[in-house]
């Protein structure tokens, strides 16, 4: 068996970014064949990926891009286990490459995005597996969203772990970037669960009504009044938890819907998405 030199180990490390001992073991196992050693490292990455599949990924990067015409926004969240990894150049470069290929190919789902080829011809998922093997912790695309609108406005929080896209409608062809950013920052801060009451799922509505009834019953209200009281509490729930009905944080005398209408008659939000790594 040939002796593996330090120079060869360093060369493989430079080529792959894997650890020194992993590179030495791979070269030893491959008999000094660099291509075979790279395959061994990739297989190691697959094993690492599988071993860490259940691990929590609460760190990472949320990347957003808006099309040149401002009518489409894409958001990709690439997650990892620890904050230091999210700051590594290889991780940041992969996040950027994934966002770029999403823009170029316009996939419909995360699965479709994962199967797309990057510049070297290998898939996004292959690159994720390789990076997992290199850094020794789970890496995953936890969110991919694409939304359309008359104008799509982005917001990324300063920590890079929270992003919002807001699609405006009834713009009349005008630029409402500032108003849109106010809405996006509202969504970031206040965590609405839906755009308006029609977007709240039936199970949530039913649960809130039952909670309202129990609260009223505990306060000694008559049984005949419980439904009415619960519906009143439900309206308060909508006001607190749906974007268009929330009080505008910069001026609580107005709702978000009223703030937008004040900028331009009929201006509103057709869709929004809020993604946070936590």
Q: Could you say which of 148, 174, 200 is where a domain stops?
A: 148
Q: Are residues 91 and 111 in the same domain?
A: yes
DSSP readout, 201-219?
-HHHHHHHHHHHHHHHHHT
* Cα(63)–Cα(81) distance, integer angstroms: 17
Number of helices followed by number of strands (H, E) in the chain: 11, 8
Confirm whether 183 is domain-assigned. no
Domain hosting 15: range is 6-51
> What one-character-per-residue DSSP string does 107-160 give?
-SSHHHHHHSB-TTS-BHHHHHHHHHHHHSS-EEEEEEEEEE-SEEEEEE-TTS
Q: Are residues 35 and 60 in the same domain?
A: no
111: number of CA atoms within 13 Å, CB side?
0
Q: How wide is the angle at C-alpha 58 spanned by C-alphas 132 and 243, nearest 5°?
A: 135
On whether residue 123 sits in a domain, the answer given is: yes
* Residue 247 DSSP symbol: E
Domain boundary among 104, 129, 148: 148
Q: Which two tokens stand for residue 167?
A: 């699609």
**Same structural domain, 126 and 60:** yes
How many domains does the chain fold into?
2
43 and 65 housed in the same domain = no
Are residues 76 and 143 located together in one domain of the fold?
yes
The residue assigned the tokens 């286990």 is: 81
Tens of pLDDT, residue by residue, the chain (278 residues): 568 999 999 888 878 878 889 899 999 999 999 999 998 988 888 787 888 888 899 999 999 999 999 999 999 999 999 999 999 999 999 999 999 999 999 999 999 999 999 999 999 999 999 999 888 899 999 999 999 999 999 999 999 999 999 999 999 999 999 999 999 999 999 999 999 999 999 999 999 999 999 999 999 999 999 999 999 999 999 999 999 999 999 999 999 999 999 999 999 999 999 999 98
Residue 168 lies in a domain: no
Q: Say yes or no: 60 and 46 in one domain.
A: no
Residues 23 and 91 in one domain: no
Asked if residue 110 is part of any domain, the answer here is: yes
pLDDT at position 52, please?
A: 84
Do both 86 and 59 map to the same domain? yes
Q: In this predicted structure, what is the pLDDT of residue 132?
A: 92
Task: Tell whether 89 and 143 lie within a shared domain.
Answer: yes
- For residue 44, being part of any structural domain is answered with yes
Nearest to 272 by CA among 170, 153, 172: 153
What's this model's pTM, rounded to 2 decimal places?
0.86
Q: At 91, which CATH number?
A: 3.30.479.20
Within a domain: 188:
no
pLDDT score for 136: 87
pLDDT at 13: 84
Query: Are residue 10 and residue 46 in the same domain, yes or no?
Result: yes
């Amino acid at each position: 068996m040939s002796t593996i030199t330090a120079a060869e180990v360093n060369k493989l490390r430079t080529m792959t970014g894997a650890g020194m001992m992993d590179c030495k073991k791979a070269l030893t196992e491959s008999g000094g064949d660099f291509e075979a050693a790279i395959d061994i490292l990739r297989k190691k990455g697959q094993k690492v990926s599988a071993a860490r599949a259940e691990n929590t990924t609460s760190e990472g990067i949320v990347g957003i891009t808006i099309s040149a015409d401002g009518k489409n926004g894409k958001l990709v969240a690439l997650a990892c286990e620890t904050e230091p990894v999210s700051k590594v150049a290889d991780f940041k470069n992969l996040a950027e490459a994934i966002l770029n290929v999403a823009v170029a190919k316009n996939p419909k789902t995360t699965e479709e995005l994962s199967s797309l080829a990057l510049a070297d011809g290998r898939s996004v998922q292959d690159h994720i597996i390789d990076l997992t093997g290199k850094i020794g912790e789970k890496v995953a695309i936890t969110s991919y969203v694409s939304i359309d609108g008359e104008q799509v406005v982005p917001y990324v929080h300063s920590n890079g772990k929270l992003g919002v896209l807001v699609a405006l409608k009834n713009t009349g062809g005008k630029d409402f970037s500032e108003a849109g950013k106010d809405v996006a920052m509202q969504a970031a801060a206040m965590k609405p669960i839906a755009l308006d009451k029609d977007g709240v799922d039936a199970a949530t509505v039913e649960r809130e009504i039952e909670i309202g009834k129990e609260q009223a019953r505990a306060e000694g209200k008559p049984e005949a009044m419980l439904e009415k009281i619960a519906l009143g509490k439900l309206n308060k729930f909508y006001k607190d938890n749906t974007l268009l009905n929330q009080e505008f944080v910069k001026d609580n005398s107005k709702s978000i819907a009223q703030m937008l209408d004040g900028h331009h008659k009929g201006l509103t939000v057709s869709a929004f998405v809020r993604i946070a790594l936590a």
